[in-house]
Amino acid sequence: MKHVASPRLRALPMTHATDRAGAPRGASGPSRSRRIALFGGIVLAAFVLFGGAGLPSREARAAAVALLMAAWWVTEAAPIAVTSLVPLALFPLLGVRSAGSVIAAFADPAILLFLGGFLLALAMEAQGLARRVATTIAASRAGARPALLLGAFALATFTLSAWINNTATTMIMLPVALAATARSELGLAKAVMLSTAYFSSIGGVVTPIGTAPNILFFGNSDRLAIVPRIGFLGWIAIALPIGLLVGLAAWGILAWRFRVPWRGSEDAPLAARELLAGLGPPTRGERRVGVLFIAAVLLWVTRQDIDLGGLRFTGWQARLALPALPWDGIVAIAAGALALLLPSGARRPLLTAREAWRGIPWGIVLLLGGGFALADGLEASGLAARVGNAVASLRGVPTLLLVLAVTGSMTFLSELTSNTAQASLVLPLMAATAPAADVHPYILMVPAVISCSLAFMMPAGTPPNAIVFASGRVALPEMAGVGLLLNLVAIAVTTLAAPFLLRVVCGVG
């Protein structure tokens, strides 16, 4: 399989392609501002710990740990993955939770879904299936019309990102975009480049495995036993319409901002066809990983009962009378394990152990575990309930106004900090706040977790933005200007659509 990449892309430092849960980017040591933030978090935690906030002892200890983690996560004073380990040390030491309880929360079953899904995505990338799908769409007849070519790239990125890590999707799509638009007008090239970043983020929200904040939502809702439970297909029914609406708006905004015409030449699809020809015919490994992927998706979608009005389908969990286990995660891990075992036909498995070890974002795994452990400590100490009771004044506030406040704050905060760390801090507090505001927890949690992933303005907002900006093809004012419009659209769509869809799909409001 040929891998096509521009020299400029190859020269990019890999730190730009990693999630912010990894090590500090490009820093040989802590800067002065980072040291100030590091010790500032310790001072703030000590103030709360020793009675400065006037909280009962156990709640104060939980609040001290939460504030320390929040300060370090937001400022990245310490590597985010390192901050995620804080509950393992401090909750047992301070008597907030026992070591066994913290470890159990840290190893939440939702992490199985993340790990298994990521292994499957790595296998698709290793075998070249994801690149083939992207290149095939770019080489289609739509490529002869610039606006449709932009839409084709957006659709390919959106589809891949629903199942593959957002950062990996951008890295797959970027070389294809560079080659396919090399002979195109500058406006079209910039629009396509930005689409690879924006639609990686938009597509990530539509499935439970699309992005890490979604995994945190499922872990927190399971831990709190919130009913009705949203399953794999239920989440898609809620998030897919939001993603499609935001995506259509993004397509229109990019085409308008960069004056992408409907009529064009055959140059762009010709370049993509040359890329596709270079890939050769589908390999045995591509076909096998494709079958494995489709099987996993079908098992995820059909696990729970499907009710289509007059047509009802009994899910395989109920049909087989299986116990209540984290079956979505088990399916994901099984698919990932098969990817490591099944031969590709080229004297290697679909995914080698080395590729798996190097490809899994262990920093994100630690961040997910730290988020679950923090949420468990806040709940067990009573601090989450206290926060919820403290906002009892929100009772009677119109639901749409509450949701607007949540989506707006989450979207713009995500421009500055890791969306996964942000979701870790916010989701347990949203669940505690909802009863005081007289709304179902999902009404605040679902818009919050979706909005965490829809930040489009700044290169630091998401890794896909950083990758595209680092390519040197898009200027910061262009990204920020288009991103601001798209932020406002995403806030409006999520605010209006999420409560309606939750009422239709889950019957909550």
- The domain locations on the chain are 7-23+79-506
Specify whether the backbone of 472 is left (phi greater than 0), alpha (psi in -120 to 50) or beta: left
Rounded mean pLDDT of the chain? Answer: 86
Q: Is 281 exposed, middle or buried (0-12, 13-18, 19+ CB in 10 A)?
A: exposed
pTM, 2 dp: 0.84
Is residue 494 within 8 A of residue 501, CB to CB? The reply is: no
The residue among 345, 385, 343, 340 whose CA lies nearest residue 359 is 340
Cα separation of 169 and 174, whole Å? 8
Q: Is the pLDDT of residue 12 over 60?
A: no
Using a pLDDT cut of 90, give the percent of the chain over it. 54
> Longest C-alpha distance within the chain, in Å?
70
Q: What angle do CA 289, 292, 293 make, to 5 degrees?
A: 85
Q: Using CA atoms, how far apart are residues 374 and 91, in angstroms rounded to an integer?
A: 9
Which of 277, 287, 4 lies closest to 124 in space, CA to CA? 287
The C-alpha R_g of the chain, in whole angstroms, comes to 23
Determine the 3-state secondary structure of 343 from DSSP: strand
CB-based burial, 338-348: b 16+ in 10 Å, e otherwise: bbbebebeeee
DSSP per-residue codes, 116-129: HHHHHHHHHHHTTH
66-111 pLDDT tens trace: 999 988 987 888 888 899 999 999 999 999 999 999 999 999 998 9
Q: How far apart are CA 195 and CA 158, in angstroms?
A: 9
Angle at 108 between CA 106 and CA 110, to 5 degrees: 135
pLDDT tens profile 213-236 = 999 999 999 989 999 999 999 999
- How far apart are alpha carbons 180 and 374 in whole angstroms? 45
> Once rounded to an integer, what is the mean pLDDT over residues 430-455?
93
Tokens 């890590």, located at residue = 165
pLDDT of residue 392: 65
pLDDT of 442 strictly over 80: yes
Residue 288: what are its φ and ψ, rounded to 5°?
A: -70, -45
- Three-state DSSP at 421 gives helix
User: Which position has the token pair 């795994």?
Assistant: 365
Structure confidence at residue 11 as a pLDDT band (50, 70, 90) = very low
For residues 123-143, give the mean pLDDT: 79
Question: Does residue 324 register a pLDDT over 80?
Answer: yes
Q: Are 97 and 45 in contact (CB under 8 A)?
A: no
Report which DSSP code applies to 30: -
- Which 8-state DSSP code applies to residue 507? -
**pLDDT given for residue 27 in this prediction:** 40
The mean pLDDT of 51-59, rounded to a whole number, is 85
Question: What integer pLDDT is reported at residue 10 of this predicted model?
Answer: 35
Residues 6+ apart with CB under 8 A from 409: none
Which H or E element spans position 80? helix 80-83
DSSP β-bridge partners for residue 274: none
Q: Are 283 and 1 in contact (CB under 8 A)?
A: yes
pLDDT of residue 141: 63
Residue closest to 134 by CA, chosen among 111, 114, 109, 160: 160
Residue 25 pLDDT > 50, yes or no?
A: no
Structure tokens at 182: 């090399």
Does residue 21 register a pLDDT over 90? Answer: no
Cα–Cα dist 222/110, whole Å: 9
For 274-314, how does the pLDDT look when each residue is reduced to its tens digit (9 = 90+)? 777 888 899 999 999 999 999 999 999 899 888 766 678 88
> How far is Cα 405 from Cα 391, in angstroms, rounded to an integer?
14
